[in-house]
Structure 1
Amino acid sequence: MSGKLEGKTAFVTGASRGIGAAIAKRLAADGARVAITYSKGADAAAAVVETIKDAGGQAIAIQADATDAAAVQSAIDKMVTSFGKLDVLVNNAGTAIPKTFEESTLEETDRVIDLNLRGVFIATHAALKHINNGGRIINIGSCVGERMMTPGLVAYSATKGAIRMFTQGLAREVGDRGITVNNIQPGPIDTELNPASGDWAEPQTANTALKRYGTVDDVAAMVAFVAGPEASYITGANLTVDGGTNA
């Protein structure tokens, strides 16, 4: 444990697996007490908490669908009751439904917007009532929110582009409280949702400068840096972790 986040508390949405789970584990390893949310997969969420506790950290898992405003508000209240405060919010929950825009149903498009954009609004709005001066709000966007080269992700990329502007706008509003707001933009990362061995992997790998997928720990490392004391003068930034996809 590095101790850079000793005494801090972090709330990570959608953290039962993939990038979210890696972020929760890394923040805990750096000394933060961590609360994670999940919509489904209670066993997976419990396993993340167990891993953190086994390593000497503190963590709790709270079931809350990221699109359910009352559930998210309740989860943040529960976290503050358990840990006494809120220092770091990581808006990680999100989804993609890969298919062309023409083939996508409105229901599918609504789902992507609801989770990727409205979900971030919900959690951030609830967190701002509690977050300490000098706190951190970290959004997980995507490299396709800046430069779009992957057919089949039109609605997804639109929501991630919106997250870029939300990050910049909010940074202006909360800066006088010493709160930073930043957007981490992963490229192709090897997860269950986008495996490096999957059908979509070949064109994504070809688009990178490094000719390989990244790992969830690559993203978690950037989140941990932005959450830490050395990043106190970085705000409103879009920080891309994409192996050179957008280079």
Structure 2
Amino acid sequence: MGIGLGLAKAFLAQGAAVAVCGRSREALDTFSRTYPAALAIQADVTNAADRAAMLDQVAKRFGRLDVLVNNAGRFIERDFTTGSDPAVDLEQEVALNLTAPIQLTSEVLVRWPALAALVFVTSGFALVSPTRAPTYGAVKAGLHGFAEGLRRQLTPKGIHVLELLPTTTDTPGTAHETRKKMTTEEVAAVTLKALAQRQPLALPGPMKFLPTLLRIAPQAASRMVANI
């Protein structure tokens, strides 16, 4: 539990009622011991029955949902030059990183059409696909496009759609990386500020410069980001 845990802690610190979900019972039990007021649900968001049961639990405990954070995802490196099949388990990657957030968003909007906000955690790789993980770039670009179009649909209804593009963040998934990282607390603070100000994008740390760099020096920015 990395950025998702950081966001949950930040919302709890603001006095919000919080529900989290995950596949690891051990991680959820640890979270519940530390934050007993929150609701911790074991669920696989790629499974329709699990999603329905999760939303049932949220409705039973809180009665409504105000903010949905789509954070589940996995970074998988794939090399299409090796001569072997690099697309092993591709369906699972697409399901977790792209299809499940879209399905969950649809199901939440059916239940709670007066939702206050939707948050999508994408990546700078949504704008510049990484050389070592082109399918990750593809699914994050897809989620970026979904968030952008959905924002235009929902703005007249007063529903805020925020996209978070985190920089390299200090999580279990980046423990092997030595470059500078932001803490999950720092990323969460930027996200909640953007949410409060109803901004379309939350751009922590150096990510704040990426959209501008892609406009004024697209080739240089693409080379720099794609090879991270």
d(CA) in 2 for partners of 1:134, 1:124: 11
Offset at residue 171 of structure 1 (A): 1.1
1:36 CA drift (Å): 0.8
Counterpart of 1:109 in structure 2 is 90
**TM-score, normalised on structure 1?**
0.77
Which of 173, 187, 199 does residue 219 from structure 1 map onto?
187
Looking at structure 1, the residues matched to 202 and 151 of structure 2 have their Cα atoms a distance apart, in angstroms, of 14
**Counterpart-to-counterpart distance in 1, 2:33 and 2:191:** 21
Partner of residue 137 from structure 2, selected from 152, 157, 162 = 157
- Cα root mean square deviation, aligned: 2.0
Contact 1:72–1:122, Cα closer than 8 Å, also in 2:
no
Deviations 1:132-177 (A, max 9, x none): 63611000000111123x4211111111111111111111222222
SS at structure 2 position matched to 1:133: coil
% identical equivalent positions: 28
Q: CA deviation at 1:48?
A: 1.8
Contact 2:194 2:202 in 1 (8 A): no
Q: Which residue of 2 aligns with 1:179?
A: 159
Seen in structure 2, the aligned counterparts of structure 1 residues 134 and 61 have a Cα distance that, compared at 3 Å, is closer
Separation in 1, partners of 2:30, 2:64: 24
Amino acid at match of 1:224: L
- Counterpart check, 1:21 vs 2:5: yes
Q: Quick one: distance in 1 between partners of 2:99 and 2:81?
A: 23
Partner of residue 95 from structure 1, selected from 74, 80, 84: 74
Tell me which residue corresponds to 1:231. 197
2:206 matched residue in structure 1:
243
Tell me how far apart the structure 2 counterparts of residues 117 and 161 of structure 1 sit (CA, whole Å).
9
Aligned partner (choices 125, 129, 148) of residue 110 of structure 2: 129
Contact kept in structure 2, 1:85 and 1:132, CA below 8 Å: no
| Structure-1 separation of matches of 2:81 and 2:45 | 27
Counterpart-to-counterpart distance in 2, 1:213 and 1:188 = 5
Counterparts of 1:184-199 in structure 2, within 5 Å, are: 184-195=164-175, 198=176
**Are the aligned partners of 1:213 and 1:243 in contact in 2 as well (CA < 8 Å)?**
no
8 Å CA contact 1:91, 1:120 repeated in 2? yes
Letter in 1 for 2:33: E
| TM-score, length of structure 2 as denominator length | 0.83
Between the aligned partners of 1:102 and 1:23, the Cα distance in structure 2 is 38
Unaligned runs of 5+ in 1: 1-16, 206-211
Q: 1:109 to 1:134 in 2, by over 3 A?
A: closer
Count the aligned residue pairs: 208
Deviation at 1:101, TM superposition (A): 3.7
Shift of 1:78: 1.3
